[in-house]
Structure 1
Amino acid sequence: MSRTRPATRFAVAALTGLALLAPAVPAAAGAATRTSTSATAATPATAPEPASGGISVTGETSPIHDPALIVDDEDGTWYVYSTGLLNRENGGTVQIWASHDEGTTWAYEGTVWDRIPAWIDAHFADGDLPGNLWAPEIYEHDGTYYLYYSASRFGTNNSVTALATNTTLDPDDPDYEWVDQGPVVTSPNPIENGKTFNAIDAGIVEDADGTPYMAIGSFWYGIFLVELEWPSGKLAPDALANATHLVDRFMWGNPVEAPYIYSHDGWYYLFVSFDFCCQGANSTYKVAVGRSRSITGPYLDKDGNNMFGGGGTVILQSHGGMVGTGGQSVYDDVLAFHYYDALNEQIPYFPTLGLHRLAWEDGWPVVDQTVDPATLTTAPQAASVPAGRTARFTAVAEGTPLPVITWEVSDDGGATWHAPAGGQPVTSPDGTSTLTLVRVNPLHDGLLVRATASNAHGHETSEPATLTVTRGRP
C-alpha cells in the first residue's frame, strides 16, 4: 500500500490536491515540532451512544469522492475507500481513509496500490487510458474483504469493474495485502434483453438466503442487478442475460448512478444518485431511494412510483455548505456520501466526505437537512492552576448537524498553533467539550488555548484563553 500524501498542485474542485487538515483552523507549518512546553491532554472519554443526524467530520476529509464505508469488527476502526486522484496522481488507485473515533476525525492512510494494474492499461490499449480508478465498494464475506473498483474511459461506457481481496483491513497486519483478482464485468456488453449499460458503480448485497448480488450502472439504460457467487465474488453463470433492470428514469441522458442496496427491517432499500456530479458549484447530484420486499424489486418510492419509470424519493440534496451530495454507500445505518464544500476557503467546492446517521420514520430513511451553522455558545475562559495540578477548559457549541469542537494550544504567544498532546476530547451530544491538561508545570505558564466549533455549514473559533500556572504549596 502506498502512504504517499496527496499532492497540492491542483487547486480545483476535482479529485486532485491536498487532503486538507482540520477545516477551520489548520495548524501552522512547523507547529507540531513545538511540543516541549505543551501540557499533556488527558485521554478523551468514551463517546456516548450516537443519535441519528449528521456527523460533523474533521481532520483529513478531502479529496474524497464516492466513499465506500466499512467498520472493522476487530478494532472498531472506520474506513472509507474512495476514488483515486486524477491523472494518476499518487498512482491514481483507490484511496483509503481511517477514523478511530466513530467517524469524527479522519486521516489519510494511502492507496490500495502504487499504480493501476497493468491489465487495465492493456484492456484500454486502443485509446485513452483511465486516469484513475473509480467508485470503490467494499464488502466482507466469510473473513474475506472484497474490494470492487471501476475503470472507465470518461464519457463513454467503455468500462470495467474489477475485484481485489484481502483478509484484513489493518495496514499494520503482516497479512495485509490487496490481491487483484481481475475483471468482474465489462461494458459495452449486452445485458438483459440486449440493453446497453455502463459497468461502473458496483454495490454489493446478499439476499436472505446469502446469495450475493451486484447493483451496477450509470446513465445509459440505468441500474441493473446481477447475481454473483461466493467465494469468487464474480458473476454467476448467465448473470448478464438474467439481470434485473431496476432503475430507468426514461429521460434524456438517464442521469442515475451509484446504486447501493441496503437491507433494513425486512425491506431492501435502493439508494441511487440522481442528476450530475463532478461539476463543483454547478453539481446537481442528489440521493434518492425506493424500497422493495424482494431484492430484485420492483423498488417503489414513498408515493408508490416505480424507480423503473422515474420514481425515487429524494432524501438528500444540496443545502447550506453542501453542494452536489451523492456517490453514497450505507453501513450500519450510516449514510456516507461526498459533497462539494462551498465553505472551503482554500479550495472552494473541493470534494469532501459527508456522513449521516439515518433516522427511520414509517419505514423510510430520513436525513436531517437543517442548515444551522456552528457557533460557540460558551468559549473557553482563562484558568489559573497551581503547578502539578490539572487545568480544564470548556467550550459549548450549537448547530445542525451537531458541531465538532477541536482544540489547539500555542506556547509561543499565538505565533503557531498545534493540537494538544494526547488527542482531541470528544464533543458530547449536548455540544460540550472539555480540554483537560494534566500535571501542568511552570513551563506551561502563559500557554494559550482556543476552541473551534465546526460543521458543514460554518465554523467559529474562540479568542485565546490563557493558562496561568502558580506556585504550589511547599
Structure 2
Amino acid sequence: MHSSIRRVRAATAGALAAALLATSLVAAATVGTATAQPGAAEPGRPAASSLPTGGLSVTGETAPVHDPALVVDDDGTWRVYTTGLVNRENGGTVQMWSSHDEGVTWAYDGTVWDEIPAWIDERFAGPDGQGTLPDNLWAPEVYEHDGTYYLYYSASRFGTNTSVTALATNTTLDPDDPEYEWVDRGPVISSPHDIAGGKSFNAIDAGIVEGADGTPYMAIGSYWYGIFLVELEWPSGKLADGALENATHLVDRMMPGNPVEAPYVYAHDGWYYLFVSFDACCQGLDSTYRVAVGRSRDVAGPYLDADGRDMADGGGTVILRSHGAVVGPGGQSVSDGVLAFHYYDGANAEIPGFPTLGLQRLDWRDGWPVVDQSAEAPVVAGGPRDVTVRGNRPAGFEVRVEGAPAPVVTWETSDDDGASWSAAPAAATRATDGAASWTIKHAGRQPDGLLVRAVVANAHGEVRSEPARLDVVHRGR
C-alpha cells in the first residue's frame, strides 16, 4: 500500500531579493502525488478530510513559494517541497517547509541539498564548457512507492526546452531521522527530444500517477506541444522501454505558444482529473496563470472538460483564476481533496507580488471540482475585551472576525503600554466559526497591565484588533 501523500512559505533579505527575481525568471511547474485508483476509497487522514471546503488561510513562513508539493506524513506533519531560489541562493536546490498544525502555520526547513548536483552543471555547460547553467532546480514532486520516496525535480535553460527532469530517493521524509538522505539517481527524461511520433516537448513539470493496474506514469510538459503522459517502471522510477515513442498527448491549447504547463492527475470517485495551469506564470502581479481541469475514466485519457471538449484539442474548464489579492494562481497539485498552489500576493505592501503558498479544500458538484473564490478582506467584528483576574487564575481573550476565506488569528502582547509588540506563545487558529480565543493559563505570572491584541489575516489582507488590557489583582490588594 502507498502511504497517504498530499499536496497541500519569510526569508533573509537576500532571499527576498532572489524571490522577487524569481517572479520574472522562474518557469512555473507542478507536482503530483500518490492517488487512489478510480472506484477505490481516496486516501484519508483527518488532517485534511476534516477541513472545511473553500480557501484555507495560512500563516508563518509561506513565501517565497513556487510549485508547492505537499506531503502529509504518517505522523501528521505537512511537508511542502518547492522550487529553489534563483541565483543559486541557498544552493538553488529544492526548498522544504513544514507545518505541525494541519497546514495552518508554516516554517522553513532549508533545502534538500547544499548545491545543485555536479552532473547537471556538466550537462548544461556542454562540451565547450560555455553553456548557460540553470539558476535553480524547479518543480519538485514527491511520490511514495513500496517504502521509498521518489523526489522528481527539473532543471532547465530558461526560455528554451533544453531541460531535464531527474530523480532522487529517500526512505524517510523526516530530516531528524538518522536514515534521512536524498540520494541522487540522475536523469529520467530530457529535451529537446521527439515525443509521441515526432512532436516537441519540454521535459519539466513532472507529476506521477498510477493506472488502474498499478503501472506508473509521468505527466510532463510545458508549452511546445503541451502535456504528455509517459510510462515509468518500478522500482527504478525511470522511463519504461519505448516511453517517448508511445507517449500519449494529453493537452494542447491549439493557440500560438501553447501556454499550458503544470500537469497533475488526481483520482476521485471513479474518474481521473487532469489539472493544468494555463497562460503566464512568474510575472509578479502581471501573471495571468489560472487552473483548468478535465476528466477521464482512463488514466491515458482522453480528458474532456465540463463542456465535453477534449483537452488535447483546446479544451479545459477553468476553476481557479485571479481574485482579490490572489494573482496568477497555478503550479497546482491536489491531494485528499486539497488543492495546493502558488500565487502572487497583491496584499503584500512591503513586497507586492511576493510568490506565496495558497490552499483550497475542493468542493465537488456534479462530478467536478469547485473552488471558493470569495475575496473579503479580514475584519475584526468584536473584542477582545479587558480582563481582570485574581492571583494565578487563567485569563481568556476572544475576538470575533469576518472575511473570506476564514482568517487565521494569531496574538501579540506588549508590556510597555503598546510601544512594542511581540508574538504571543499561542497557537494560530483558522477562525472557521467566526471567532478565535487565547487563554493565558497562569495570568498571575504576567505583568499587570499587559496589553493583548489579535492579528487577523487571510490572502486578501491583515488587520489588528484594538488592544485589551490584563489586570492582575494579587492577594492583599
- TM-score with structure 1 setting the length: 0.90
**Contact residue 54 and residue 355 of structure 1 kept, 8 A:** yes
Q: Deviations over 1:193-249 (max 9, x none)?
A: 011100000001011211110000000000000011111111111111110000011
* Mapped partners of 1:102, 1:403: distance in 2: 15
* Mapped partners of 1:330, 1:99: distance in 2: 17
Task: Select which of 407, 412, 415 maps to 2:416.
Answer: 412
Match of 1:43 in 2: none
Note closer, same or farther for the CA distance 1:380–1:317 as it changes in structure 2 (3 Å cut). same
**Contact residue 382 and residue 400 of structure 2 kept, 8 A:** yes
Q: CA deviation at 1:431?
A: 2.1
Q: CA deviation at 1:6?
A: 4.0
Residue 69 (structure 2) pairs with residue 65 (structure 1): no
Residue 462 (structure 2) pairs with residue 459 (structure 1): yes
Match of 1:54 in 2: 55
Structure 1 residues 379-388 or 48-57, which shifts more? 48-57
- 1:308 match: secondary structure: helix
Q: CA deviation at 1:472?
A: 3.4
Task: Select which of 359, 383, 386 maps to 1:355.
Answer: 359
Match of 1:93 in 2: 93
Q: Deviations over 1:229-285 (max 9, x none)?
A: 111111111111110000011110000000000000110000000000011111000
Match of 1:7 in 2: 12
Identity %, equivalent residues: 67
**Contact residue 408 and residue 428 of structure 2 kept, 8 A:** no
Q: CA deviation at 1:418?
A: 2.1
Q: CA deviation at 1:316?
A: 0.3
* Mapped partners of 2:49, 2:145: distance in 1: 30
* Mapped partners of 1:458, 1:195: distance in 2: 45
**Contact residue 214 and residue 226 of structure 1 kept, 8 A:** yes
- 1:415 match: secondary structure: coil
List aligned pairs for 1:69-468, cutoff 5 A.
69-73=70-74, 75-126=75-126, 127-421=131-425, 423-441=426-444, 443-468=446-471
Q: Deviations over 1:341-375 (max 9, x none)?
A: 01101111000000000000000000010111111
Q: CA deviation at 1:15?
A: 3.2
* Mapped partners of 1:451, 1:443: distance in 2: 18
* Mapped partners of 1:69, 1:14: distance in 2: 24
- 2:89 match: secondary structure: helix
- 1:343 match: secondary structure: coil
**Contact residue 84 and residue 92 of structure 1 kept, 8 A:** yes
Q: How many residues end up aligned between the 2 structures?
A: 439
**Contact residue 47 and residue 426 of structure 1 kept, 8 A:** no
Runs of 4+ in 1 over 6 A off after TM superposition: none
**Contact residue 137 and residue 153 of structure 2 kept, 8 A:** yes
- 1:123 match: secondary structure: helix
* Mapped partners of 2:241, 2:114: distance in 1: 33
- Tell me the amino acid that sits aligned with residue 56 of structure 1: S
Note closer, same or farther for the CA distance 1:399–1:242 as it changes in structure 2 (3 Å cut). same
- Tell me the amino acid that sits aligned with residue 297 of structure 2: R
- 2:122 match: secondary structure: helix
Q: CA deviation at 1:442?
A: 5.7
**Contact residue 321 and residue 328 of structure 2 kept, 8 A:** yes
* Mapped partners of 1:279, 1:263: distance in 2: 31
- 1:91 match: secondary structure: helix
* Mapped partners of 2:113, 2:177: distance in 1: 16
Unaligned runs of 5+ in 2: 1-9, 24-46
* Mapped partners of 1:66, 1:232: distance in 2: 24
Note closer, same or farther for the CA distance 1:54–1:443 as it changes in structure 2 (3 Å cut). closer
Note closer, same or farther for the CA distance 1:59–1:223 as it changes in structure 2 (3 Å cut). same
- 1:62 match: secondary structure: coil
Q: CA deviation at 1:141?
A: 1.2
* Mapped partners of 1:375, 1:48: distance in 2: 27
**Contact residue 326 and residue 459 of structure 2 kept, 8 A:** yes
- Tell me the amino acid that sits aligned with residue 349 of structure 1: G
- Tell me the amino acid that sits aligned with residue 107 of structure 1: A
**Contact residue 11 and residue 63 of structure 2 kept, 8 A:** no
**Contact residue 164 and residue 191 of structure 2 kept, 8 A:** yes
* Mapped partners of 1:332, 1:442: distance in 2: 43
Unaligned runs of 5+ in 1: 17-45
- 2:329 match: secondary structure: strand
- 1:444 match: secondary structure: coil
**Contact residue 49 and residue 337 of structure 2 kept, 8 A:** no
Note closer, same or farther for the CA distance 1:156–1:408 as it changes in structure 2 (3 Å cut). same
* Mapped partners of 1:262, 1:191: distance in 2: 23
Q: CA deviation at 1:459?
A: 2.0
Note closer, same or farther for the CA distance 1:360–1:443 as it changes in structure 2 (3 Å cut). closer
Structure 1 residues 444-453 or 319-328, which shifts more? 444-453
| RMSD across aligned positions (CA) | 1.7
- Tell me the amino acid that sits aligned with residue 357 of structure 1: R
- 2:125 match: secondary structure: coil
- 1:124 match: secondary structure: helix
- Tell me the amino acid that sits aligned with residue 254 of structure 1: N
* Mapped partners of 1:112, 1:6: distance in 2: 17
Q: CA deviation at 1:417?
A: 2.0
- 2:429 match: secondary structure: coil
* Mapped partners of 1:157, 1:50: distance in 2: 39
- 2:430 match: secondary structure: coil
Structure 1 residues 348-357 or 138-147, which shifts more? 138-147
* Mapped partners of 1:441, 1:114: distance in 2: 47
